């Protein structure tokens, strides 16, 4: 404190300045001590100019970690975040904080979308350092899913509801195509659209994420000649399940083994609507592809015949059995989407405008990649199978240990708690459930309320439930 005025107050003013600076940098959930090692330095600092340059209660850093706390605690309302800020300021003897949630809502709107995207990419890159390759290739899984949005006019214009739902009775639908790393399970990138966007059109926006030496694995919905040709131009290998509309006569072509043939496919006559004309001209006129068939045997089910098409033509270097086992691992992407949508609550988003929906989606994926980083580090340190570590158990352990780590009296104790957290994560393995059946059926009956089959302002509620049937 170098001020020439009030020399008697210098020590007290200096202590007050340090306390205000410490309070400004503190977040709510104390997750930054676990996340910071994987984030780019200075990315969440206060800006010199712009929307996040003013000295506010809800700074950029505090707003981000408060948002992240809400994602990791799906039932956390805005009011709880405000109460945490009030408790934090009261602990340090600062002036009271307004109990309204408007300031926090505005702070979430000020979060830059490009900053959130950089955070997600940084977490994915950190987890990829421990990724294992398959025959020297980085395996990327491709699949799509959907999320439901609140029924607001802005969301309806950007993401219309499905055509089978009556006006005023449905919900906007967001379509998403994601790229996941098979080695670590992190989400590398994604593209979003509405019901009018085909999944192949969304995947076209993500082709720059594939590099020479990668291997793309996807189900039959992505099995098209054009996509195989685009990957061939980028020197990216492919393993797709053969589309049901394309016949596969394994009596034709060059024989490589039992149910294993080399075939020549020709370029279709008509250009897909989602493909630009400049790209269509670059697609090769014919491709030499490998088509193989195997039996997928699962306990309790009849054997299922699966036909694959791939650009890995060397049968000695890439045996058919290993390709079949690789495609069987494609099912992991279904489990990863279930972790994000069901375990974390992304199946139904809560924001009421497309701009905030995009930020909420980014926060879900940041939280998911953060959990994947913890799982990858725990699996590498304690030498356990990464696929067996419980995702939900990791989320539960993180929520409890983050509070204890923040309250640790010394840095040494914090490091001990972090090591203990990784040990707990590694020990929480999902048991092998061979032959377990999970029918898609609900045992607990819903309450016998009417179905909203017309707009809300035109709906007439029946007074007695005996006057109607639920499925009428």
Same domain, 67 and 155: no
Same domain, 45 and 139: no
Same domain, 134 and 90: no
Predicted confidence pLDDT, tens digits, the chain (472 residues): 455 555 655 565 555 455 444 444 455 556 778 888 888 888 888 776 777 777 788 888 889 999 999 999 888 899 988 888 888 888 777 778 888 889 999 999 999 999 999 999 999 999 998 888 999 999 999 999 999 999 999 999 999 999 888 888 889 999 999 999 999 999 999 999 999 999 999 999 999 999 999 999 999 999 999 999 999 999 999 999 999 888 888 888 889 989 899 999 999 999 999 899 999 999 999 999 999 998 877 665 567 788 999 999 999 999 999 999 999 999 999 999 999 999 999 999 999 999 999 999 999 999 999 999 999 999 999 999 988 999 999 999 998 898 888 888 888 998 899 999 999 999 999 887 776 667 778 888 888 887 887 877 777 766 655 555 555 5
Residue given tokens 């707003």 in the structure block:
63
Same domain, 189 and 291: yes
Candidates 267, 223, 229; CA nearest to 242 is: 223
Q: What is the pTM of this model?
A: 0.88
Tell me which of 314, 343, 372 is where a domain ends: 343
Q: 37 Cβ partners below 8 Å, 6+ apart? A: none
Residue-number span of the structural domain to which 316 is assigned: 130-343
Same domain, 339 and 411: no
Is the CB of residue 94 less than 8 Å from the CB of residue 23?
A: yes
Helix 113-128 to helix 354-382 angle, to the nearest 10 degrees? Answer: 20
> Residue 24's pLDDT is what?
46
Same domain, 180 and 89: no
438/405 Cα distance (integer angstroms): 38
The verdict on residue 349 lying in a domain is no
> Residue 469's pLDDT is what?
52
Same domain, 194 and 252: yes
The verdict on residue 3 lying in a domain is no
Same domain, 46 and 190: no
> Residue 313's pLDDT is what?
93
> Residue 75's pLDDT is what?
85
Per the structure block, which two tokens stand in for 322? 């290993």
Same domain, 337 and 396: no
The verdict on residue 350 lying in a domain is no
> Residue 25's pLDDT is what?
46
The verdict on residue 204 lying in a domain is yes
Tell me which of 309, 343, 377 is where a domain ends: 343
Same domain, 81 and 171: no
Q: How many domains does the chain have?
A: 3
The verdict on residue 59 lying in a domain is yes
CA distances from 252 to 110, 138, 382, 442 (A): 60, 31, 50, 47
The verdict on residue 122 lying in a domain is no
Tell me which of 111, 141, 161 is where a domain ends: 111
Per-residue burial over 14-45, b if 16 or more Cβ lie within 10 Å, else e, is eeeeeeeeebeebbbbbbbbbbeebbeeeebe
384/232 Cα distance (integer angstroms): 36
The verdict on residue 194 lying in a domain is yes
Is residue 370 exposed (0-12), middle (13-18) or buried (19+ Cβ within 10 Å)? buried
In the beta sheet, which residues pair with residue 147? 174
Same domain, 146 and 106: no
Quote the Cα angle for 391-218-389, to 5°.
15
Same domain, 296 and 434: no
The verdict on residue 356 lying in a domain is no
> Residue 418's pLDDT is what?
92
């Amino acid at each position: 404190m170098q001020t020439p005025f009030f020399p008697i107050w210098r020590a007290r003013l200096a202590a007050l300045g340090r306390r205000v600076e410490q309070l400004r940098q503190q977040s709510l959930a104390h997750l930054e001590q676990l996340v910071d090692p994987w984030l780019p330095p200075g990315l969440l600092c206060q800006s010199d100019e712009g929307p996040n340059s003013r000295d506010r209660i809800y700074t950029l850093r505090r707003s981000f970690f408060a948002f992240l706390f809400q994602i990791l605690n799906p039932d956390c309302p805005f009011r709880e975040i405000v109460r945490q800020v009030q408790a934090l300021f009261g602990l340090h003897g600062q002036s009271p904080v307004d109990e309204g949630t408007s300031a926090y809502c505005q702070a979430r709107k000020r979060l830059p979308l490009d900053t959130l995207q950089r955070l997600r990419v940084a977490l994915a890159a950190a987890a990829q350092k421990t990724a294992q390759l398959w025959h020297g290739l980085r395996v990327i899984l491709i699949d799509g899913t959907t999320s439901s949005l609140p029924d607001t006019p802005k969301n309806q214009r950007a993401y219309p509801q499905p055509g089978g739902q009556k006006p005023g009775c449905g919900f906007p639908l967001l379509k998403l195509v994601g790229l996941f790393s098979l080695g670590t399970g992190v989400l590398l990138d994604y593209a979003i659209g509405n019901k009018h966007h085909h999944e192949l059109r969304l995947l076209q926006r993500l082709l720059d994420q594939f590099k020479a030496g990668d291997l793309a694995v996807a189900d039959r919905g992505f099995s098209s000649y054009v996509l195989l040709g685009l990957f061939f131009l980028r020197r990216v290998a492919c393993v797709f399940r053969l589309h049901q509309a394309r016949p596969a006569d394994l009596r034709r072509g060059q024989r490589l083994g039992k149910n294993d043939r080399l075939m020549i496919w020709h370029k279709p006559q008509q250009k897909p609507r989602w493909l630009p004309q400049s790209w269509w001209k670059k697609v090769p006129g014919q491709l030499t592809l490998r088509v193989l068939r195997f039996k997928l045997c699962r306990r309790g089910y009849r054997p299922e015949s699966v036909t694959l098409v791939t650009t890995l033509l060397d049968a000695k270097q890439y045996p058919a059995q290993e390709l079949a086992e690789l495609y069987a691992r494609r099912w992991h992407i279904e489990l990863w989407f279930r972790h994000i949508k069901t375990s974390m609550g992304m199946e139904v988003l809560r924001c009421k405008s497309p701009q905030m929906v995009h930020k909420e989606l980014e926060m879900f994926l940041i939280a998911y990649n953060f959990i994947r980083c913890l799982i990858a580090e725990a699996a590498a340190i304690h030498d356990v199978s990464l696929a067996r570590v419980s995702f939900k158990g990791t989320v539960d352990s993180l929520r409890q240990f983050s509070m204890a780590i923040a309250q640790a009296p010394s840095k040494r104790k914090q490091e001990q708690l972090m090591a203990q957290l990784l040990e707990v994560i590694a020990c929480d393995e999902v048991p092998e459930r061979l032959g377990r059946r999970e029918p898609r059926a609900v045992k607990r009956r819903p309450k016998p309320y009417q179905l909203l089959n017309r707009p809300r302002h035109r709906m007439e509620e029946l007074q007695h439930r005996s006057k109607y049937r639920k499925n009428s």
